[in-house]
Structures are given as structure tokens and as C-alpha cells.
Amino acid sequence: MKDLKVSPVLLLIAMLAVATAARAADIIGTITLKGTPPAEGDLSSYMKDYADCTAMYGDKLPTTHFFVVGPKGEFADVVVSLKGMSGKSTGASAPPAVLDQKGCIYTPQIFAVQTGQKLAVKNSDHCIHNVHCTPAVAGNDEHNDAQMSGGADLTYTFAKPEMFIKFECNVHPWMRAWVCVFDHPYFSVSDKDGKFVIKNVPPGKYTVEAGHRKLGSQTQDVEVKDSDTTVNFTFEVK
């Protein structure tokens, strides 16, 4: 048998191929809404007696924003994640998520964190709030804490995955926010342009799930290779 000599060039190409195959990529996409959603609820009749809440709005008090839709159907506040992933949480080392109370409205209204990730709740208002979260999954604790104006941030963590845990203020009963808790870092919430990015997904086959709090969820199977993978979702109001 002749000695097998490996060309350095071939070796370099092979190494590059292996390195490329192992590089993580992003899953990106756009969420759109078809149909006409129900009209948002008017908060003015509830807020009008609270000067501390209404000062920043002038004459135009806010409404609910359960369906945040752009002019071309761009659908915000849809939580997109990789289905079936678990035990990969990096929450303990992740920077804290922030939920603010401003103008007696929670901001953001829909957001997502990992298990073990700190969630800091701020009170940027000139009034008292109580911060009341009501998880349903055992292992995630219910909390109800007073937060004075300018008071210290309240911090919470959730130990178990759960979708749409409600945060509310019972002093101002229209205040609502919802947090989705994942056991991994592969999730995103669509922005006002309907766009989402799930970063650094290792190559492989996955089921991507897009969930809206009012319209349920839908899934698509994708294969992530060495470049960004695009998957779009369309929700419909019937």
C-alpha cells in the first residue's frame, strides 16, 4: 500500500467544513395577522379618576393593546420559541429582564425570560402599585408585593417553564402584563414590525412554535444549517 499523503489544502478545506457545520445560526421571521381583531378596550373610564396615572397622556388616554398590529398586518407580541427544548437554561447568568410601571401601564406587556433569570420590576410612577403575579405551574410561586413610588425594584425568578404568567396591579385593575418562562434561551417576542430573531441556534431540526396570548399557537418544522433560517407565521382572526 502506498503511503497516504493528505494535501494540506484538502485538510484545510475539511477543517473549514467542520467548523462551518458547527456554527450556530439564527432563526428569523415575520409574524402577520389576517382579519380584523376586536376593538381594543377603552381605559379612560377606569383611569380618568387617577391624576397620577393620566398626567403623561394628556387628553388621549390609552386603550388595551391585546392585538398590536401594523398597517400591513405586522403582528407584535407573539412569543416564538423552539418546542421541546428543556434543561438548557442559562437564566442564572443572563442579565435581568426589566418590567416597568409607567403611566400605570406595564411595559413591556408581553415578554419572556428563562428559568432562574432575574426579573426586576420597577415603579416609575408617582403612586403606589402592588405587583401581583399568579403562576399556575407548581414550583412557580405567587407573589403580591407593595411597591411605593420610587421604591426599590422588586425581583422575582421563576423555577419552571410556563406560558403567559399574569402580572397585575389590583390598585389599578386595568394594569396587566404577561411573561413566558422557558427552560432554554431559544425564544423571541415579535416586535412592532412583526419581526423576531431566535439567536445562536445550533444546527439541527427543530419545531418552531409561535404563540399569541389570545389566538393560541401554531408550529412549523425547520432545519437550521450554517446560515440564518427564515420561518414566517400568519395568524388569522375569524
Q: Contact with other proteins (CB under 8 A): which of 166, 191, 203, 232?
A: 166
Among residues 177 and 224, whose Cβ is nearest to other proteins?
A: 177
Binding other proteins (rule: CB under 8 A), the pick from 20, 170, 227, 230 is: 170
Q: Which residues contact 177 (CB under 8 A, 6 or more apart)?
A: 99, 106, 108, 109, 110, 111, 166, 167, 168
Q: Which is nearer to other proteins, 172 or 184 (CB)?
A: 172
Among 46, 116, 199, 203, binds other proteins (CB under 8 A): 46
Ordered strands of the 105-107 beta sheet? 105-107, 97-102, 119-123, 154-156
Our finding on whether 214 is near other proteins (CB under 8 A) is yes
For other proteins, the closer of residues 109 and 229 by Cβ is 109
The stretch among 19-27, 32-40, 81-89, 202-210 that binds other proteins (CB under 8 A) is 32-40
Of 16, 21, 56, 146, the residue at the interface with other proteins (CB under 8 A) is: 146
Q: Where does the chain have alpha helices with state H? A: 8-22, 44-47, 51-54
Q: In the complex with other proteins, which residue's Cβ is closer, 118 or 143? A: 143
Q: Does 216 bind other proteins (CB under 8 A)?
A: yes
Q: Residue 127, interface with other proteins (CB under 8 A)?
A: yes
Task: Give φ, ψ of 162 to 5 degrees.
Answer: -165, 145
Cell triple for 42:
377603552
Smallest gap, in angstroms, from Cβ of residue 106 to other proteins? 12
The residue among 118 and 132 lying less far from other proteins, judged by its C-beta, is 132
Q: How far is the CB of 152 from other proteins (least distance, A)?
A: 14
69 binds other proteins (CB under 8 A): no
Alpha carbon separation from 27 to 67, 186, 221, 230, 231 (Å, rounded): 24, 9, 12, 6, 7
Q: How far is CA 10 from CA 3, 13, 94, 211, in A?
A: 16, 5, 41, 46
Q: Could you write out the DSSP letters of every residue in 26-87?
A: EEEEEEEEES-PPPPPB-HHHHTT-HHHHTTTTT---B--SS-B-TT-BB-S-EEEEET--S
Task: List contacts with other proteins (CB under 8 A).
Answer: 38-43, 46, 50, 52, 64, 66, 127-128, 130, 132, 134, 142, 144-146, 148, 166, 168-174, 176, 214-216, 237-238
